[in-house]
């Protein structure tokens, strides 16, 4: 999604902005731009273009790069108006230039009001409306102008703002869209994401709602709408610069697939103790007497929630509902006083997941966030947070975040089951020991890399691929299918294997690839029958099953998985599914880390 950066200091601002924007490229974007106070004439110079940062660099070369040391920059992921030079950010009014992440829902009525006041518009964006609205209210007092403008705006925003007559300050404000103000030495920054500032500093403030950050070369202040100083703790980014680099891998996605053993180890090893499972700050007994659990999330995180449902229900015998966040928030859900709401999110900023969390809080249920990004909105607003220690996930396609979310689901299921008397000390101890072995098994599964590459050679021309499975195998099939379609652009669907005969099997034709996941001991024979049914109609079956299963010669290709307890199988079977999707995308020449139309963090509805 869109990225915001801002810089003031002694360095060449254009260089810093381009460099910082490059570290946000992974978020996905289709145009880019910068606005810089030019030292030559003191005016704000705005240069923007459709396309990648390389296009912006070319344009800066051809029009002349502004020489100043203060400015703002943006990568835009189109929402209002197609990707084009005119719709790229920054946008300006007479005395104000801004960059914006988010969506202004009432932009159309605001635009009409501003037109009546004499403003003209040159783009199709909601952002230009915000720029002109701030401009309209600007009578020499930036705080008053920002305060008045945002009081009229409905929607989500993070703004970086330059007032043309204040060349030594950047202003920033946010609502429902992340933004930080970072503190350097003789230089300060704003950014929508931590990787943008890592090269320069690790110290940053989280800007909260109803706060305005005012950044100059030597000062970084955060004030409320009355101009009162807000004192808040300086945060320290723990990410390393190398964590946000490819380290010799051709793509972030492949690097992140291979980081999974470590990510899972980091997530489980400090929490699993001799006596139990310790989630920082979550007291013993927290999960006792829960009547119902609601897991709400989007995309891959929702698929991790599906796995969570199966294992929590089977171990703790507590009903679990899994919802897509964008559905949950608008379906008037029924939440009881003893219910528990779990939000899963890698970024911690997904708009629908955040809204679902707020709804749950409003309805009075306890909330728990399972989140990867420390200090993100979902992490801050939930009653409790369990961080997944995956480190930064840069590729748009989520891989290691899924694996650590699964690891948290196993630990959570164990803890809920134990606190509700559904497993005894012995089984609880066994479960903990088994979770600790997962990183090694995941490492073993990474050895399927070459096989997956070869399978991609065979299947990469497919136009449709089905994934089938039952129970937990179905849950992981959904993730395998999403991975494949989002990066290789092959149409793909996941079906509960037993459901095929109720309609979908009519789509099976000669040569159609079907990926069958059949790694659950008690369901294996059932899925095998479904495999035979699709084979009989010409399907080419790639089977994932446990080592030593019988009758598997029905499949055309086979990947075998070590025999570990069924509840952990998704952690193993997902690895070849990720590698398969990756090599399919590579083989088809796709932009693996930045698939078309997608963004890493979906901060709009
Ligand atoms: O940051 P989140 O985990 O809340 O993001 C949710 C989805 O947008 C995300 O998992 C998405 O589906 C992935 N790109 C899939 O690989």
Does 28 score more than 80 pLDDT? no
DSSP 8-state symbol, 350: -
- For residues 305 and 291, give the distance between their C-alpha atoms in angstroms, rounded to a whole number: 18
Question: What stretch of H or E contains 163?
Answer: strand 157-163
Question: Is 600 contained in some domain?
Answer: no
Provide, rounded to the nearest whole percent, the portion of the chain with pLDDT above 70: 99
Query: pLDDT at position 25, please?
Result: 80
Pair 363, 483 in one domain: no
pLDDT digits (tens, 9 = 90+) for 535-555: 999 999 999 999 999 989 989
Q: Which atom of ligand 1 is nearest to the CA of 401?
A: 3
pLDDT for residue 118: 95
Q: Which residue in 342, 317, 321, 346 sits closest to 331, CA to CA? A: 321
Alpha carbon 468 to its chain centroid, in Å, reads 26
Distance from the CA of 252 to the center of ligand 1, in angstroms? 16
Q: How far apart are CA 96 and CA 114, in angstroms?
A: 15
Mean pLDDT calculated for residue range 219-229 = 95
Asked if residue 246 has pLDDT above 90, the reply is no
Q: State how far the Cα of 4 lies from the Cα of 158, in Å rounded to an integer.
A: 8
Q: How far apart are CA 415 and CA 409, in angstroms?
A: 10
Verify that 9 and 132 share a domain, yes or no. Answer: yes
Together in a domain, 44 and 98: yes
Q: How many domains does the chain have?
A: 3
Q: What is the pTM of this model?
A: 0.82
Residues 6+ apart with CB under 8 A from 156: 101, 102, 103, 175, 176, 177, 351, 603, 604
- Measured from the Cα of 350, ligand 1's closest atom is 4
Provide the CB-side half-sphere exposure for 590 (13 A, CA). 27
For residue 308, how far is its CA from the centre of ligand 1 (angstroms)? Answer: 16
Give the pairing type, strands 44-50 and 31-37: antiparallel
Does the structure show a pLDDT above 70 at 494?
yes
For residues 403 and 263, the answer to whether their CB atoms sit within 8 Å is yes
Residue 563, helix vs strand vs coil: coil
Q: How far is the CA of 480 from the centre of ligand 1 (A)?
A: 14
Please indicate whether residue 127, judged by its CB atom, sits closer than 6 Å to ligand 1: no
- Please tell me the distance from the alpha carbon of residue 110 to that of residue 124, in angstroms, as a whole number: 13
Q: What is the pLDDT of residue 561?
A: 97
Q: Is residue 397 in contact with ligand 1, taking CB distance under 6 Å?
A: yes
> Do the domain assignments include residue 178?
yes
Q: Do 476 and 504 fall within a single domain?
A: yes
Question: Distance (Å, rounded) from C-alpha 533 to C-alpha 549?
Answer: 18
- Output the residue whose Cα is nearest ligand 1's atom 12: 299
Would you please indicate which residues are annotated as catalytic (active-site) residues?
Answer: 2, 600
Same domain (yes/no): 174, 234: yes
Is residue 603 over pLDDT 80?
Answer: no
Please report, for the domain that includes residue 213, its CATH number. 3.60.20.10
Examine residue 324 and state whether it is found in any structural domain, yes or no. yes
Q: Which atom of ligand 1 is the closest one to the Cα of 297?
A: 4
- Residue 601 falls inside a structural domain: no
**Atom 10, ligand 1: residue with shortest CA distance:** 300
* Phi, psi angle pair for 145, to nearest 5°: -65, -45
In this structure, are 304 and 327 located in the same domain? yes
Same domain, 573 and 475: yes
348 contacts 372 by C-beta, under 8 angstroms: yes
Mean pLDDT of the chain: 94
119 in the same domain as 77: yes
Q: Is 346 in the pocket of ligand 1 (CB under 6 A)?
A: yes
**Best of 27, 352, 377, 398 to mutate for ligand 1, by most ligand atoms within 8 A of CB?**
398
- Whether residue 286 has pLDDT greater than 90: yes
User: Both 163 and 210 in a single domain?
Assistant: yes
239 and 256: one domain?
Answer: no
Model confidence band, residue 92 (pLDDT cutoffs 50, 70, 90): very high
Query: Tens digits of per-residue pLDDT, 37-69?
Result: 998 888 999 999 999 999 999 999 999 999 999
Instruction: Please say if the pLDDT value at position 399 is more than 90.
Output: yes
Q: Distance between alpha carbon 229 and the CA centroid of its chain, in Å?
A: 32
Q: By residue range, what is the domain housing residue 152? A: 3-244
Instruction: Tell me: do 270 and 339 sit in the same domain.
Output: yes
pLDDT computed for residue 241 by the predictor: 66
DSSP string, 374-414: TT-HHHHHSSEEEE-------SSS-SHHHHHHHHHHHHHHH
Domain limit, last residue, from 423, 456, 482: 423
Whichever domain contains 452, its CATH number is 3.40.50.10490
Q: Over 80: is that where the pLDDT of 297 sits? A: yes
């Amino acid at each position: 999604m869109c990225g915001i950066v801002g810089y003031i200091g002694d360095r060449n601002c254009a260089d810093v902005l381009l460099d910082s924007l490059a570290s946000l490229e992974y978020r996905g974007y289709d145009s880019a731009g910068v606005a810089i106070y030019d030292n030559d004439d003191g005016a704000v110079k705005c240069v923007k273009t459709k396309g990648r940062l390389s296009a912006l660099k070319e344009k800066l070369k051809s029009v002349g790069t502004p020489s100043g040391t203060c400015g703002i920059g943006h990568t835009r992921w189109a929402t209002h108006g197609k990707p084009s030079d005119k719709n790229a950010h920054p946008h300006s009014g007479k005395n104000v230039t801004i960059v914006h992440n988010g969506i202004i829902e009432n932009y159309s009525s605001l635009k009409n009001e501003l037109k009546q006041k004499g403003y003209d518009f040159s783009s199709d964006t909601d952002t230009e409306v915000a720029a002109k609205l701030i401009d309209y209210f600007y009578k020499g007092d930036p705080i008053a102008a920002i305060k008045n403008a945002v009081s009229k705006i409905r929607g989500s925003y993070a703004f970086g703002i330059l007032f043309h007559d204040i060349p030594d300050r950047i202003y920033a404000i946010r609502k429902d869209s992340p933004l930080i103000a970072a503190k350097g030495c003789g230089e300060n920054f704003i950014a929508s994401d931590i990787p943008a500032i890592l090269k320069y500093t690790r110290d940053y403030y989280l800007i909260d709602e109803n706060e305005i950050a005012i950044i100059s070369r030597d000062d970084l202040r955060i004030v409320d709408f009355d101009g009162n100083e807000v004192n808040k703790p300086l945060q320290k980014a723990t990410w390393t610069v190398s964590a946000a680099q490819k380290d010799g891998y051709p793509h972030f996605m492949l690097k992140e697939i291979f980081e999974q053993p470590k990510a899972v180890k980091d997530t489980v090893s400090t929490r699993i103790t001799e006596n139990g499972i310790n989630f920082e700050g979550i007291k013993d007994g927290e999960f006792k007497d829960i009547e119902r659990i609601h897991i709400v999330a989007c995309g891959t995180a929702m698929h991790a929630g599906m796995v969570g449902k199966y294992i929590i229900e089977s171990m703790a015998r507590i009903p679990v509902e899994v919802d897509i966040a964008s559905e949950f928030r608008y379906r008037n859900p029924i939440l009881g006083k003893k219910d528990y709401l779990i939000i899963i999110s890698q970024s911690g900023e997904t708009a629908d997941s955040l809204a679902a969390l707020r709804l749950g809080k409003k309805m009075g249920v306890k909330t728990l966030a399972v989140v990867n990004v420390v200090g993100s909105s979902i992490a801050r607003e939930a009653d409790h947070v369990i961080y997944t220690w995956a480190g930064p996930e840069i590729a748009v396609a989520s891989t290691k975040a899924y694996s650590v979310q699964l690891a948290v689901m196993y630990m959570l299921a164990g803890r809920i089951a134990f606190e509700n008397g559904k497993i005894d000390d012995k089984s609880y101890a066994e479960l903990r020991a088994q979770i600790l072995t997962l990183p090694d098994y995941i490492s073993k599964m990474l050895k399927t890399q070459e096989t997956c590459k070869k399978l991609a050679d065979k299947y990469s021309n497919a136009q449709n691929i089905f994934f089938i499975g039952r129970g937990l195998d179905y849950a992981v099939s959904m993730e395998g299918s999403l991975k494949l379609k989002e990066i290789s652009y092959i149409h793909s669907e996941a079906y509960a294997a037993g459901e095929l005969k109720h309609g979908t099997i009519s789509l099976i034709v000669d040569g159609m690839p079907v990926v069958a996941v059949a790694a659950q001991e008690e369901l294996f024979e059932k899925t095998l029958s479904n495999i035979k049914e699709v084979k009989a109609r010409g399907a080419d079956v790639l089977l994932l099953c446990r080592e030593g299963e019988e009758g598997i010669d029905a499949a055309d290709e086979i990947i075998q998985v070590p025999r570990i307890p069924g509840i952990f199988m998704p952690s193993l079977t997902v690895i070849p599914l990720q590698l398969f999707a990756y090599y399919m995308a590579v083989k088809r020449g796709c932009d693996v880390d930045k698939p078309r139309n997608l963004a890493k963090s979906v901060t709009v509805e």
